[in-house]
């Protein structure tokens, strides 16, 4: 099983630790709410811990495979808002997940996701409280 398919299975089963174990150490996650990406395994793992608490009824509803990556279409609830999005997974030369680009719609859902994730990152001590929103 390739890393993208294994990632999908682990996320769907709630195994975030196992899912993030499929990332390259220098993984980069491009967030839909932040200009600068999350870089490195520690930053991305911290984000995934918050996502696990933030997303309710998370499920993948579609999958598209290409020669250089995989697109996983998802639906979830955040703060009672329906969220739809995609995870674009790019594999590195060793078959590990080297980059993730996340896209979310609609705008109101994106706003709810951004606010909830920031609150979770502050609660976990990843970003300081009361400071500027991470870019």
pLDDT digits (tens, 9 = 90+) for 27-58: 999 999 888 999 999 999 999 999 999 999 99
pLDDT of residue 1: 63
The partner residues of 23 in beta bridges, in order of sequence, read: 97
What separation in angstroms does the CA of 78 have from each of 1, 48, 109, 114, 127? 30, 15, 7, 10, 20
Burial of 43 (0-12, 13-18, 19+ CB in 10 A): middle
Q: pTM of the entire structure?
A: 0.88
What separation in angstroms does the CA of 82 have from each of 35, 42, 56, 87, 112? 23, 29, 10, 16, 10
């Amino acid at each position: 099983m390739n890393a993208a398919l294994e990632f999908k299975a682990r996320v769907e089963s709630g195994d975030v630790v196992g899912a993030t174990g499929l990332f390259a150490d220098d993984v980069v996650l491009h967030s839909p709410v932040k200009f600068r990406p999350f870089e490195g395994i520690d930053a991305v793992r911290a984000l995934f811990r918050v996502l696990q608490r933030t997303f309710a009824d998370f499920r993948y509803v579609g999958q598209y495979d290409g020669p250089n990556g995989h697109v996983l279409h998802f639906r979830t609830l955040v703060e009672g808002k329906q969220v739809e999005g995609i995870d674009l997974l790019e594999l590195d030369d060793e078959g590990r997940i080297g980059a993730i680009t996340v896209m979310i719609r609609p705008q109101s859902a994106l706003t709810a996701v951004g606010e909830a994730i920031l609150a979770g990152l502050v609660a976990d001590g990843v970003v300081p409280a009361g400071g500027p929103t991470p870019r």
